[in-house]
Structure 1
């Protein structure tokens, strides 16, 4: 017990350098997430449980850490520090993602910019909107919606400052409450019911000091199959004449033609390689639920 306690205290997971590195990577990850969606209208990494931009970040850090471990082992990051960075980036990415900040920010001024005499938004609910939570300066909103301007001028900054501060406070409290709920449920779910958490298996495995995952032939076989399918279909998206592997074109809604089942509408069936992989790590009764 003494040896175990000594090992645990000599290699803490939450260290100052891990926190600093995580904080430094948060703006980069947040910018990539928003640019990926808003600028390039590409993939949405935070709409799936395994936030893959964080996994990509770890995969970039691991080779660098390998070189540091080889030549300057005293400065190499431990698995616990990598997991600290993973948690920090995952939480920050979820906040900056498609269903959080990318939805909250337009909500602040939308009620005023899109109000028209026809929809009568002004008469219907303007009076119910707290002035400290919204942005109603139309002169600043013109640049926000139409472009040809920047946030970094005095009039825009002062107009947005108050709602940004109040929404930041609200989101901070919201996230803190969610963390507290996790702490309340942790012992019951982890220690008593021993629930499986398949999402954490990948970051746990790729950050192992022995690199066991990367030595697995089965892992590389699965990676080659799933990566090959995505690569082929990606080329097809750019060059339509290139053949594709149809894993996202099954639509079963067309087979329900009679009422009430015809109301089911469009129901696509996808085969997602990451979901198949996660299903192998889930309890059987959960994967069939």
Structure 2
């Protein structure tokens, strides 16, 4: 005889409370900030010079490689003194910081954000009529419309450190940096949301 299934409640086993240990320590920040320029230079070498793109596949292989050596070195120093070792929370902090930096300077982010500020002005022509179609819709504070500054970006042969170029790029660069910062904060807030591991009631 078949009977209707009864509602069953599933609850997670209560874990033994453990003391909270933050990974936001001076040690983790110092290590991360020392590794950031190395990571950026590494990505430039891989993606711009060698045309291999480690940031296209997640988890990021170069950050995992760095984390492996940090775990090994932290374990060795931890044998000497527990204060010299790296906790899981500190390793996670370093991992997150390197991942965020790698994403921001990657092929799919920074190499798109920079040209997009000047693309419409560089490639406008009488044939495509971009000037008449949408130039007036492009906010000046988000784009670089100085003709010489745009030409210098695409053709080179000059230095960025020219007063005219700095003035042309500074405003849009700051505006886009503010947007990227807000974007990253929103993503971190979404990750911080408490999502239940399983529904409290299964029918």
Q: Which residue of 1 aligns with 2:10?
A: none
Segment drifting more, 46-55 vs 62-71: 62-71
Q: In the alignment, what sits opposite 1:106? A: 115
Does the aligned pair in 1 maintain the 2:121–2:150 contact within 8 Å? no
TM, length-normalised to structure 2: 0.80
Question: How far off its partner does 1:44 sit?
Answer: 1.0
In 2, distance between residues paired with 1:32 and 1:67? Answer: 25
Q: Does 1:120 align with 2:132?
A: no
Which residue of 168, 186, 194 maps to 2:177? 168
Structure number with higher relative contact order (C-alpha < 8 Å, ≥ 6 residues apart): 2
Q: Deviations over 1:129-179 (max 9, x none)?
A: 000000111212222112223323333222211001000111111121122
Does structure 1 residue 25 correspond to structure 2 residue 35? yes
Q: Is 2:195 the partner of 1:187?
A: yes
TM-score (norm 1): 0.58
1:39, distance to aligned residue in structure 2 (A)? 2.8
Structure 1 segments of 4+ aligned residues over 6 angstroms from their partners: none
CA distance in 1, matches of 2:164, 2:69: 40
For residue 147 of structure 1, the aligned residue among 156, 179, 185 is: 156
Alpha-carbon separation, structure 2, partners of 1:26 and 1:36: 15
Structure 1 unaligned residues grouped into runs of 5+: 194-289
The alpha carbon displacement at 1:61 in A equals 2.5
Q: What is the CA–CA distance in structure 1 between the aligned matches of 2:111 and 2:141, rounded to whole Å?
A: 20
Query: How far is the alpha carbon of 1:187 from its aligned partner?
Result: 2.1
Tell me how many residue pairs correspond in the alignment: 184
Write out per-residue CA displacement over residues 164-209 of structure 1, whole angstroms, 9 at most, x where no aligned residue. 100011111112112222223x423xx336xxxxxxxxxxxxxxxx
Partner in structure 2 of residue 55 of structure 1: 64
1:51 shift after superposition? 0.9
CA distance in 2, matches of 1:70, 1:151: 49
| Separation of aligned partners in 2, 1:81 and 1:114 | 47
Question: What pairs with 1:205-216 in structure 2 (closer than 5 Å)?
Answer: none
* Secondary structure class of the residue paired with 1:187: coil
Q: Is the 8 A contact 1:140 1:156 kept in 2?
A: yes
Q: CA deviation at 1:66?
A: 3.6
Query: Aligned-pair RMSD on alpha carbons?
Result: 2.1
8 Å contact 2:144–2:168 — kept in the other structure? yes
Greater share of helix residues, 1 or 2? 1
d(CA) in 1 for partners of 2:186, 2:72: 36
Determine helix, strand or coil for the equivalent of 1:12: coil
